[in-house]
Structure 1
Amino acid sequence: MEGKVMRKIWERCALRRDIAKEFLAEFLGLFVLVVFGCGAMAQMTLARRIAGDLMTVHVGFSVGLTMAVYVSGGVSGGHVNPAVSLAMVLLDRLPLKKFPVYVLAQFLGAFVGSCVVFALYHDALMSHGGGQLTIWGVNATAHIFASYPARHLSAGNGFLDQVVATGMLTLCILAVTDGDNMGAPRGMQPVSIGLIILGIGSTMGLNCGYPINPARDFGPRVFTALAGWGKGVFRFGGYWWWIPVVAPMVGGAVGAATYLFLIGLHHSELHRRRVAPHRVAPQQVREDLSNQKSTDMSRLTLPCCAGV
């Protein structure tokens, strides 16, 4: 009886269209990332570094991204970042028509994640700032949700910072998921991607806190503008807000192009066909494989998900 009930629920509620499933997967992925990452920032800030420090923030974002990819990877590819989605479009691994759907889902997931972090730490936020939500100063809390530049940072240097950091992220993701390269064992790619974030946070966080994700930065920033911090979240730092939105997109494209031209294009054709046999005619695959005495047909596998 219970099985019949569950079957009826599944038949009524299960989505049929792939794009709807992918939308929900990217939404939930960003939600998980922001709850873990911004939650770590909130704990460090509101406890005045007694219950956390920069390393716990790095770990929070790393674990958050790892879990986000585990949550969404099998459905949408686990992009959870518009810059990664753009890279997949440029590499012909994601149809262009799906790109705006992914970006919208990512933005909304980050926005809702910010709502949850705000609700979770509402009383602590009010206590920390004496009832005031401020952007700068000893009691500032806006940086819990979005990035802001350090005093020494110029707009040009900040733009370069985000291009380089996001380029490194994209390049390393492509390496981790490249079946023609060493790659990571199946099921371990999310862990490897989380370690990339740990590395970036430990080495490239000084200037502006390594946002490297337009949705993760812009969604929470919009939330803070609506929740009480005001329009200053967009004006602060000489209208800094657009840099962590635009520069990571450039960095994602640069990182993808770098990996493609220095590594991806130089894999042997036969090896590529073993990994992605669906991209060539079956007869051509059989002919090529028959010429290799050591070929093992069991090595023919489909490529891994585009963004995992």
Structure 2
Amino acid sequence: MGTIFLYEIAGTAMLLLLGVGVVANAILTKTKGNGGGWLLINFGWGLGVFAGVFVAAASGAHLNPAVTVGLLVSGAEEYAPGIAVNAGTTLAYFAAQLIGAFLGAALAWLAYRDHYAAETDQGAILGTFATGPEIRNPVWNMVTEAIGTFVLVLVVLMFGNTPSGLGPLAVALLVVGIGASLGGPTGYAINPARDLGPRLFHAVAPIAGKGGSDWGYAWVPIVGPLLGAVLAGLASMALV
């Protein structure tokens, strides 16, 4: 059983390595991709999901506590073949996803170490790791995150009920679409581990002049996605 959760750690780490990496490439000083723009970031995150799902296939490739919660609320009997839905496995998924997210952020920092050292904009440094709103209004920022995560989890659950299942490419394109359509207000965390793990890494990373980790906002990309996941799980029950 423990080996299964190593897949979840590895898949989530792959997701965050490529996700944090594409944001770093797009916004840090002197990178080849500097100024690449929002769609580069959207596609980079989508392809990070694509790679992460393949790596974590044995664990069901949740990569996201919101997906785990959506499955729990939907009444699923297994999180993956041989992994029953219960309190222990739920907490194990959460832990694996957070550990993987932290490790992925650390690897992305190593890849861009010199560029982080050269960056003087504290907001850009934090923005590679954690999400933040363009217009700061925590309640409505939470609503935005809940809506984006609702779309993600509901579509994942509904595709899971089709004969062909949901392949990595389909999930990747879904994430690209959510980012392009709903990501503008908050940066579309749509995944509590995706935000919290890298934010924790930012807090401890040896980056000179990095500034604070904006813990006052950190609850939004946790509560919003979990709320959206619960609503998606309930909606999936009504639609099946």
Larger RCO (alpha carbons 8 Å, 6+ apart): 2
1:144 aligns with 2:128: yes
Matches within 5 A, 1:207-218: 207-218=185-196
CA contact (8 A) 1:82 1:102 kept: yes
CA distance in 1, matches of 2:116, 2:168: 32
CA distance in 1, matches of 2:10, 2:35: 27
- Greater mean alpha carbon deviation, residues 164-173 or residues 90-99: 90-99
CA distance in 2, matches of 1:200, 1:142: 22
Counterpart for residue 204 of structure 1: 182
Matches within 5 A, 1:63-82: 63-73=47-57, 75-82=58-65
Counterpart for residue 174 of structure 1: 157
Change (3 A) 1:50 1:220: closer
> Normalization by structure 1: what TM-score?
0.70
CA distance in 2, matches of 1:231, 1:99: 34
Query: Which residue identity is paired with 1:67?
Result: A
Larger radius of gyration: 1
Query: Which residue identity is paired with 2:136?
Result: L
> Normalization by structure 2: what TM-score?
0.89
Counterpart for residue 41 of structure 1: 23
**Structure 1: tracts of 5 or more residues without a match:** 1-17, 265-308
Query: Percent same amino acid among aligned pairs?
Result: 28
Change (3 A) 1:42 1:194: same
Pairwise CA distance, 1:260 = 1.7
Counterpart for residue 135 of structure 1: 122
Pairwise CA distance, 1:52 = 2.2
CA distance in 1, matches of 2:187, 2:35: 19
Structure 1 vs Structure 2 CA RMSD: 1.8
For residue 98 of structure 2, the aligned residue among 90, 107, 117 is 107
1:209-261 deviations in whole A, cap 9, x for unaligned?
A: 000000010000000011146782134xxx11111011101111111211221
1:253 aligns with 2:236: no
- Greater mean alpha carbon deviation, residues 159-168 or residues 188-197: 188-197
CA contact (8 A) 1:176 1:192 kept: no
1:257-289 deviations in whole A, cap 9, x for unaligned?
A: 11221x21xxxxxxxxxxxxxxxxxxxxxxxxx
How many pairs are equivalent? 228
1:103-144 deviations in whole A, cap 9, x for unaligned?
A: 101001010111111111010111122xxxx533xxx31100
1:233 aligns with 2:232: no
Matches within 5 A, 1:1-308: 18=1, 20-46=2-28, 47=30, 50=34, 52-73=36-57, 75-93=58-76, 94=79, 95-96=85-86, 97-129=88-120, 134-136=121-123, 140-150=124-134, 152-179=135-162, 185=164, 189-227=167-205, 228=207, 232-235=212-215, 239-261=216-238, 263-264=239-240
Change (3 A) 1:254 1:231: farther
CA contact (8 A) 2:122 2:210 kept: no
- SS of the residue corresponding to residue 233 of structure 1 reads coil
Counterpart for residue 282 of structure 1: none
Change (3 A) 1:115 1:254: same
**Structure 2: tracts of 5 or more residues without a match:** 80-84
1:150-199 deviations in whole A, cap 9, x for unaligned?
A: 1x2311110100110000000111122113xxx5x35x611111111010
CA distance in 2, matches of 1:135, 1:160: 26
Counterpart for residue 11 of structure 1: none
Change (3 A) 1:104 1:230: farther
